[in-house]
Amino acid sequence: MKQTVLVSGGAGYIGSHTTVELIEAGFNVVVIDNLSNSEASALDGVRQITGKDFPFEVVDCCDKAALEEVFKKYEFDSVIHFAAFKAVGESVAEPLKYYGNNLNSFCNIIELMNKYGRHNVLFSSSATVYGEPEELPVTEQSMRQPATSPYGNTKQMCEDILRDCVKAYNKDGNGLKGIALRYFNPIGAHPSALIGELPRGVPNNLVPFITQTAAGVRECLSVFGDDYDTPDGSCQRDYIDVVDLAKAHVVAIKRLVDGKNKANYEIFNIGTGRAVSVLELVNAFEKVNNLKLNYKIAPRRAGDVTAIWADPTQANNELGWKAERTVEETLASAWAWEKHVRGIE
Ligand code: NAD
Ligand code: WQD
């Protein structure tokens, strides 16, 4: 029988790409989203890519009664929980918005999974839990550092909530099981250019700012700092292609469904293992897309870590997952998506 997965936040950037990969891997999906940071049209893109229809309900995961109706209506054993707010700066300005949404939505999901005997959950965690790392690359065993933003704090707290709930609600080995995937920096879009990232307002993240600058929506990219202690002075990150990232969810959910997990709560870094600087990324974008980007060196951005990249060995060995797309392919897909959104030929 086909397995069904509830995808919360499935109209969003990573959720929509994961929904495609789940369907292509043979899963049934039920998508819920409150559309607070997405458009339902993203799911039309998913339907177009896969040629499959699936149920979508506009539900706020903080509304427990509405969420419970979803649990009553659909048979699913697994949940992938993307639904959260994610803007680091906004979380500093409006912490209660972040604690309220990110914690309540996850607690409701876990509570209802427990009540209705749905056992497999993936949680979208983040490399932000490592803060400014003491060693590079970071492994899952590297120390988490105190969170530098309320957003980061919600990721650490949700990881802890999952760890504690799995312990409490799986005493007989036949209850809740969870995996936290710590994403590094997701970028790019589906190769079809039918789905991609849709930031509202001025983008905070580097790649949407680059593509919007190339499209003429933004005048000039500011490279935040060229005096860091890195080979070219700009910050280094581990940029992970969003389709590769989506595929990691498929193998992780299969691991839980098939009972291949080695503990009831597991954590995996989802990154490439490659450190790429801001200037390297800008140069690669120009080269692969054959264009010149208007950029300038600007002061450092408050709160940025100098460098972080993943040791993905555990995901490689345990999940049998490896990042496949090159940075060039990913940057070409990001530009193709931006052109699609802007109607540029
Ligand atoms: P996104 O904003 O595109 O997607 C999140 C989706 O959740 C949106 O469609 C939004 O409308 C929905 N949502 C938010 N709160 C909700 C609620 N209470 N009920 C129902 N739906 C709700 O963000 P994304 O980039 O796709 O991120 C997905 C997840 O991955 C988030 O948990 C995010 O924190 C995490 N993450 C993202 C990144 C990144 O850089 N994009 C990195 C690490 C972790
Ligand atoms: C990448 C690099 C900037 C914009 C954030 C969150 C993290 C995770 C992923 C959710 C940095 C530089 C950026 C610009 C620039 N999200 N930059 N000019 O900060 O590594 O991670 O998204 O969990 O929690 O903090 O990503 O894309 O914002 O920045 O020079 O206009 O690009 O300084 O070095 P970041 P980013």
- Residues serving a catalytic function are 151
> How many Cβ atoms from other residues are within 10 Å of residue 218's Cβ?
17
**CATH 3.40.50.720 matches 4-187+239-270:** yes
The pLDDT tens digits for 237-291 are 999 999 999 999 999 999 999 999 999 999 999 999 999 999 999 999 999 999 9
pTM of the model: 0.99
- Regarding the beta carbon of 209 and ligand 2, being less than 6 Å apart is answered yes
> How many Cβ atoms from other residues are within 10 Å of residue 313's Cβ?
13
Residues of the chain with CATH 3.40.50.720: 4-187+239-270
- What is the 126 CA–ligand 2 centroid distance (Å)? 12
Contacts with 104 (C-beta within 8 Å, 6 or more apart), sequence order: 61, 62
Q: Whose CA is nearest to atom 41 of ligand 1?
A: 186
Q: Looking at the CA of residue 59, tell me the nearest atom of ligand 1.
A: 20
- What is the 205 CA–ligand 2 centroid distance (Å)? 5
The pLDDT tens digits for 213-244 are 999 999 999 999 999 999 999 999 999 999 99
Residues with CB under 6 A from ligand 1: 8-9, 11-15, 33-38, 60-62, 82-86, 101, 105, 124, 126, 183, 186
Residues of the chain with CATH 3.90.25.10: 206-237+273-342
Q: Whose CA is nearest to atom 10 of ligand 1?
A: 37
Class of domain 206-237+273-342: alpha beta
Spell out a b/e string for 176-207, using b for 16 or more CB atoms within 10 Å of the CB, else e: bbbbbbbbbbbbbbbeebbbbbbbeeebebbb
**Residue 1, pLDDT above cutoff 90:** no
Do residues 251 and 267 lie in contact, with contact meaning Cβ atoms separated by under 8 Å? no
